[in-house]
């Protein structure tokens, strides 16, 4: 009983501590054109910044192409390649992260019970293109040490054990845009930086990007919800605490 009480107290303290913290928005990576158009729109979207083309009618689109996810800005701008020049596994891991991200967004839209968008692979009438980039990924010092990686010169501070993510590990940032598949006109843009949910036991931090999977899954589900709800409905941010070690 005493051990259970101590565990409950630690969990409550962790939740209260994390709830008081907020991750700062990431700097613009260069992936998006005209990022200055984006602003915080928390009354609608759970992202740091977003922009929607004035007069954009999302009902005019019924299908979606999800492009290969860009990791060039992650590897070069934030310093992973320079910090670990001999580690060829990093490039392969970046490709795995890109594939995981695309697969996650495809899965989320295909699992949508409303079937708001059909996932297709060719441009056409009523087809939009979703382009995504993982632009920042900063594991904790503990994760870096365990994997034998050098810290990148990323634009976010490394997260130390005992900090606001409790050592669980990763700060990750994404940028995205929605385009018309024919005209290539930008219809919507967003940018967000997240930390993974706090875990008492973290079984995900076995790769440099493992903790980022929670945030990527949350972003995919949030975009599905935005696609299915009117513009006056607030889509909530993801929880920053979980008891699930996976």
Reduced to 3 states, what is the DSSP secondary structure of residue 171? strand
Which domains are delineated in the chain?
Answer: 23-228 (3.40.50)
Element (H, E) at 129: strand 127-138
Taking only the tens of pLDDT, the chain with its 246 residues reads: 454 544 444 443 344 333 334 578 889 999 999 999 999 999 999 999 999 999 999 999 999 999 999 999 988 777 776 777 666 677 788 899 999 999 999 999 999 999 999 999 999 999 999 999 999 988 766 667 666 776 676 554 444 433 333 344 568 999 999 999 999 999 999 999 998 665 444 445 556 778 788 899 999 999 999 999 999 999 998 755 444 444
What pTM, to 2 d.p., does this model score? 0.80
Q: What are the strands, taking DSSP E only, across 25-111?
A: 49-52, 63-66
């Amino acid at each position: 009983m005493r051990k259970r009480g101590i565990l409950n107290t630690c969990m409550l303290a962790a939740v209260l501590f994390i709830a008081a913290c907020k991750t700062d928005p990431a700097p613009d990576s260069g992936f998006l054109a005209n990022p200055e158009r984006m602003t915080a729109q928390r009354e609608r979207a759970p992202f740091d910044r977003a922009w929607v083309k004035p007069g954009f009618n999302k009902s005019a689109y019924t299908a979606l192409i999800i492009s290969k996810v860009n990791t060039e800005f992650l590897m070069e701008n934030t310093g992973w390649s320079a910090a670990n020049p001999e580690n060829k596994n990093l490039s392969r891991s970046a490709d795995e992260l890109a594939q995981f991200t695309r697969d996650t967004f495809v899965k989320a839209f295909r699992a949508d019970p409303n079937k708001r968008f059909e996932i297709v692979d060719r441009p056409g009438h009523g087809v939009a293109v979703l382009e995504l980039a993982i632009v920042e990924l900063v594991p904790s010092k503990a994760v870096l040490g365990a994997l034998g990686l050098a810290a990148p010169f990323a634009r976010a501070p490394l997260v130390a054990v005992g900090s606001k993510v409790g050592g669980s590990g990763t700060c990750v940032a994404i940028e995205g845009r929605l385009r018309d598949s024919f005209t290539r006109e930008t219809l919507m843009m967003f940018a967000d930086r997240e930390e993974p949910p706090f875990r008492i036991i973290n079984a995900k931090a076995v790769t440099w990007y493992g903790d980022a999977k929670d945030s990527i899954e949350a972003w995919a589900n949030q975009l599905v919800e935005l696609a299915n709800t009117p513009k006056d409905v607030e889509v909530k941010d993801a929880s920053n605490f979980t008891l699930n070690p996976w």
